[in-house]
Amino acid sequence: MTDRLAIVGAGAKAVAVAAKAAMLRDMGVATPEIVAVERTAIAANWRAGGGWTDGQHRLGTSPEKDVGFPYRSTILPGRNAELDQRMMGLSWQSYLVATGRFAEWVDRGKPAPTHDTWAGYLRWVGAAAKLNIVEGEVIRLSLDGQSWVLHTGEDTVTADAVMITGPGQPDRSVLPGHRQVLSIAQFWQLAAEHERIDAERVAVIGGGETAASMLNELFKHRVSTITVISPQATLFTRGESFFENRMFSDPTDWTGLTLAERRDVMARTDRGVFSARVQDSLLADDRIRHLRGRVAHGVAADGRIRITLHTDRQGERLETVHGFDLVIDGSGADSLWFLPLLGQDVRDLLEIRLNGPLTSDRLQQAIGADLALTAVRPKLLLPNLSGLIQGPGFPNLSCLGLLSDRVLGGGADGRASYSTTRRNNEHQSL
Ligand SMILES: Cc1cc2nc3c(=O)[nH]c(=O)nc-3n(C[C@H](O)[C@H](O)[C@H](O)COP(=O)(O)OP(=O)(O)OC[C@H]3O[C@@H](n4cnc5c(N)ncnc54)[C@H](O)[C@@H]3O)c2cc1C
């Protein structure tokens, strides 16, 4: 039983969970208290200044994949239709109606909103759900008996369960502090300040949607060639047909696939792929080319940044060096970003429960239906690592309504042992 769930970051996932909890509470169902600890502001990563965008670029997924999507709650047998109906009141379309923009959006052909508009939507839901936010950056996570303690510089928050969200920090770079090397955050800061980038040979490290969004911006600047560096054989286009999308909205058949099949689906649809829209609009430009390899390191020499790449060729590791005038490190998103926050007591607990060091693979394979590490108490929910075992939509925006069912309900069918009437403040689940 969880009385209080603390969420690191007041982003899309925290808002979705708070929205579902608020609707359940309105229906008289006892739910845990949700508290988000946020270092900047609600939906900060979707706005200029958050380090991941200038706010003007557009959402890749449909905005109808909003906090309640796919509107197929299973958490409250007998009352799920009513719950979905209530969640519709917090939908993307309800937001447009509430802010007088619905008809225009439809008449314009339902365009993808900018990241900034999406942040506006998340803030609107957060306010409607009365999301409780503690301001501060979580710098350490420790244990106190059966409780988690989240430490910020000034505060501590105690909770029965913790959920980690967000893509990590956008200020990593292959050569920190060098003026010819930009992190994701530095790149977007320049873009937001309308500073023009002027360079002959530019490299963008990373072949995923973060890099795609940066390419979209980079094309407006004065650059002669852009080399995208990624380990994949080429710049793959994301599979976006009904069959692929369906796996993200509805992971029912996911567990029937072998791990190899799941990894294959994720490689085609999620990791290091560009959306068809990006491929159409950008990659036709003859300034762009692809270089296969993993960046080993970078050094400054003779006015250029020399990047050393490792490539596997028929079992042998090949090392090549390439020179650029400007390098933009777009490889920032890291689902293990929270590991340095863990106190030694937490590391010890996790390593004992997981039978070994905290590798990505070990953590991913230990995630249960409630998106928490199965053997660990108090609960540690890691939705960003749950794609492989629970379904590819959980780390992103593809099924936030299902995510909140799993987090609050605790099971693969999302069903909670909730009572449908509140009894003396007695919490019955999670
Ligand atoms: C440029 C870009 C575009 C994207 N477009 C899409 C898309 O179209 N569709 C899609 O499905 N996915 C997209 N994604 C992936 C996206 O990150 C996730 O889908 C979604 O935002 C994840 O929600 P979240 O709640 O985990 O994180 P976020 O919405 O990113 O929120 C994380 C929050 O945590 C806060 N935070 C971080 N560290 C700390 C700390 N130590 N202490 C306190 N607070 C902290 C941040 O300030 C932020 O507010 C995109 C990602 C990027 C970078």
3-state SS, the chain, equals CCCEEEEECCCHHHHHHHHHHHHHHHCCCCCCEEEEEECCCCCHHHCCCCCCCCCCCECCCCCCCCCCCCCCCCCCCCCHHHHHHHHHCCCHHHHHHHCCCHHHHHHCCCCCCEHHHHHHHHHHHHHHCCCEEEECCCCEEEEECCEEEEECCCCEEEECEEEECCCCCCCCCCCCCCCCEEEHHHHHHHHHCCCCCEEEEEEEECCCHHHHHHHHHHCCCEEEEEEEEECCCCCEECCCCHHHHHHHHCHHHHHHCCHHHHHHHHHHHCCCEECHHHHHHHCCCCCEEEEECEEEEEEEECCEEEEEEEEEECCEEEEEEEEECEEEECCCCCCCCCHHHECHHHHHHHHHHCCCCCCHHHHHHCECCCCEECCCCCEEECHHHCHHHHCCCCCCCCCHHHHHHHHHHCCCCCCCCCCCCCCCCCCCCC
C-beta of residue 124 within 8 angstroms of C-beta of residue 66: no
* Cα 237 off chain centre by: 20
Q: Which of 54, 164, 209, 335 to mutate to test the pocket of ligand 1 (most atoms within 8 A of CB)?
A: 209
Predicted confidence at residue 232, as pLDDT, reads 81
Name the residue type at position 41.
A
Predicted confidence at residue 239, as pLDDT, reads 75
- CA 367/CA 396 separation, integer angstroms: 16
Question: Where in the sequence of the chain do the CATH 3.50.50.60 domains occur?
Answer: 4-168+334-409, 181-238+275-329
CB neighbourhood size of 310 (10 A): 14
Predicted confidence at residue 18, as pLDDT, reads 98
Alpha carbons within 13 A on the beta-carbon side of 353: 19
Q: If you measure from the C-alpha of residue 45 to the centroid of ligand 1, how many angstroms do you get, rounded to a whole number? A: 6
Fold of 181-238+275-329: FAD/NAD(P)-binding domain (3.50.50)
| Residue 12 Cβ < 6 Å to ligand 1 | yes
What CATH architecture is 4-168+334-409?
3-Layer(bba) Sandwich (3.50)
Predicted confidence at residue 283, as pLDDT, reads 67
Name the residue type at position 35.
V
Per-residue pLDDT of the chain (430 residues; tens, 9 = 90+): 579 999 999 999 999 999 999 999 999 999 999 999 999 999 999 999 999 999 998 898 899 999 999 999 999 999 999 999 999 999 999 999 999 999 999 999 999 999 999 999 999 999 999 999 999 999 999 999 999 999 998 899 999 999 999 999 898 888 988 999 999 999 999 998 988 899 999 999 987 878 888 988 898 899 999 999 998 877 777 777 888 888 899 999 998 999 999 998 888 887 777 777 777 777 677 888 889 999 999 999 999 999 999 998 888 889 999 999 999 998 878 899 999 999 999 999 999 999 999 999 999 999 999 999 999 999 999 999 999 999 999 999 999 999 999 999 975 554 443 333 333 333 334 4
Atom 18 of ligand 1: nearest residue by CA position: 396
Atom 41 of ligand 1: nearest residue by CA position: 138
Distances (CA, A) of 358 to 140, 362, 392: 17, 6, 21
| Residue 38 Cβ < 6 Å to ligand 1 | yes
